[in-house]
Amino acid sequence: MTRCSGVGTGPGTMKLNERSLAFYATCDAPVDHAGFLHKKGGRHTASHRRWFVLRGNMLFYFEGPGSREPLGVIVLEGCTVELVEAAEEFAFAVRFTGAHARCYALAAESQAALEGWVKALSRASFHYLRLVVRELEQQLAAMRGTGGDGEVTVPPRRPKENGCCSAVWSAEPPAAGPRCPPLPPRRRRASTPDRPPDSAPFAQLHEWYGQEVRALRGQWLGGQTQP
């Protein structure tokens, strides 16, 4: 695999874990967006039709959909996406700020594709995602803060809901349901006796609930292995 280097190799070129980047580009998790785009090489060069794959805040481009390795990647932090007037139809640009900053001239192959790409790329940055997460974190913390000891007061139309793992017992047990999990009247501590504090960071909550879900699954499935 060729060594990953920025535009213009030479002394002072940054190293990047290009092998892992390539694996991330081609792994079989769902992609955020993919399709053909025409990419202009430079101001006076022609466009090349490339297969683009958006994953998180990384926009990879390949020779084609079957390529095993990306030709390149555009890190999408600190950019704007805008429609542009160009000779090409369905043209748009990914523009970075700062002196001598790069501007990627791209073109989609239909109006629908253009709109899809502009939407997908505008919201692709990590910064944006983090903003939304923080907002939701605050909302959730504010809600829990008004719940006394933290137990959620459940609105009547969702009597089963009570915290993250309510899904475990959210179904009413059918009359004859040999595969149905036991339905306790309130949240049961499975293998982990301590609740995390309601203001716990997501990481802790994620880990804690994940443990409990795994333990409960193990219990009511009689220890069968899961696919």
* Residues between 30 and 89 with contacts to another protein, criterion CB under 8 A: 30, 32-33, 55-58, 69-75, 77-79
CA distances (Å), 219 to each of 125, 175, 222, in order?
41, 20, 5
Q: What is the distance, to the nearest Å, from the Cα of residue 105 to the centroid of all Cα atoms in its chain?
A: 25
Which DSSP string do the residues of 63-95 spell out, in sequence order?
SSTT-SS-SEEEE-SSEEEEE---SSTTEEEEE
- Say whether residue 165 binds another protein (CB under 8 A): yes
Q: Which stretch binds another protein (CB under 8 A): 42-50, 105-113, 166-174, 184-192?
A: 166-174
Residue 168 neighbours by CB distance under 10 Å = 21
The correct pick among 64, 179, 224, 225 for binding another protein (CB under 8 A) is: 179
CB atoms within 10 A of CB 153: 9
Interface positions, 182-211, toward another protein (CB under 8 A): 202-203, 205-206, 209-210
Interacting residue with another protein among 83, 84, 112, 180 (CB under 8 A): 180
Q: Which amino acid, residue 86? A: A
- Positions in 94-153 near another protein (CB under 8 A): 96, 98, 100-102, 120, 123-124, 126-127, 129-130, 132-133, 135-137, 139-140, 143, 152
Binding span for another protein by CB under 8 A among 27-35, 43-51, 105-113, 185-193: 27-35
Kindly state the smallest distance separating residue 44's Cβ from another protein, in Å.
18
Looking at residue 142, its amino acid is: A
Q: Which stretch binds another protein (CB under 8 A): 45-53, 82-90, 106-114, 177-185?
A: 177-185
The three-state secondary structure class of 122 is helix
Tokens 């899904």, located at residue? 167
Q: Which stretch binds another protein (CB under 8 A): 25-33, 44-52, 85-93, 187-195?
A: 25-33
Gap between the Cα atoms of 218 and 212, Å rounded: 10
- C-beta of 1: minimal distance to another protein in Å? 8
